[in-house]
Structure 1
């Protein structure tokens, strides 16, 4: 799916219920896993992350008519997600919990590797995920969007509604904190 829509495509989606449903289904297929993981980095509770993810796509369906096509669909989805997560965090404090759904996907791709190598890689991924999750939220969110979602600085800036230099600073500080967690290793 393309991240940007032409004005003609957007008007068609906004005016035709069948196109709208198909479009939202495609968004779910393309972005649900990334949105879920991003949500989890905020709330650290798998069930709550799943609920928020569903709410994001429901909101998208209900408010696609309000989408102005001034940013990419991906940026719009992640903005909705960040706002939903921040709203949730304002309501109550949450317990930490590490979701390993991505690990299952990796396991399916690694069937031909040696069991020892798979175990070492699994432990390294868990350690990295735990360290990223331990970062303060303002560093964790930019690290996740930049490295795990391959977003550009300007997209992250739009989503979080902060200046691009702020994003760069948070990325740098987040990386430095991770380096300290690994004893100075890259």
Structure 2
């Protein structure tokens, strides 16, 4: 792969939209999703020799993407905590901005509802959030999700069940408040 730029270009062409959409689902900022997309393909390029083909290339790239996103979120949260304690920040804008993004397929009039939905999704624990997003936003089947998350299909089914139940509860509260505020 490293010696074949055409092969790497094909890999990028085949998977960059998938990687970007997955990153956008996690990060909800287009610039951050673009940065993660670049980082993922740098990692893929550097690690291609280590790919052991135990999983499909698609699930391997998903796993790299999710790990990069989770690392990015952890790093960002660490900076936010540091900002709160030190009351200084290199970039005050970066520390104060809230999720605001244009997700593909979301119309302007649904932006508020989408924001409520993604707040609820983001409140799920890491495994439930990952399983839910891979299933509902990326359209992966349970066996593919299990491969990406390196777990069993029954564990994925359990995570999805708990994620849906939790979202149902959180969204019923949030949308009730949303409806009251709109009245």
What TM-score comes out, normalization by structure 2 length? 0.68
CA offsets per residue over residues 54-76 of structure 1, 9 Å max, x none? 11011112222332333222101
Q: Does 1:177 align with 2:166?
A: yes
Stretch moving more, 163-172 or 87-96: 87-96
Q: Measure the CA separation in 1 of the matches of 2:123 and 2:168.
A: 13
Q: Which residue of 2 aligns with 1:141?
A: 130
1:150 alignment partner, one of 139, 144, 168: 139
Q: Measure the CA separation in 2 of the matches of 1:171 and 1:36.
A: 23
Question: Aligned-pair RMSD on alpha carbons?
Answer: 2.9
Q: Does 1:24 align with 2:11?
A: yes
Runs of at least 5 residues in structure 2 that lack an aligned partner in the other structure: 81-94, 176-183
2:104 alignment partner, one of 102, 105, 127: 102
Q: Measure the CA separation in 2 of the matches of 1:20 and 1:76.
A: 17
SS at match of 1:181: helix
The count of residues paired between Structure 1 and Structure 2 equals 156
For residue 183 of structure 1, report the CA deviation from its aligned partner.
Answer: 2.3
1:53 alignment partner, one of 32, 37, 50: 37
Structure 1 residues 45 and 124: CA distance shift in structure 2, 3 A: closer
Runs of at least 5 residues in structure 1 that lack an aligned partner in the other structure: 1-13, 108-117
Q: Does 1:81 align with 2:79?
A: no
Structure 1 residues 87 and 133: CA distance shift in structure 2, 3 A: closer
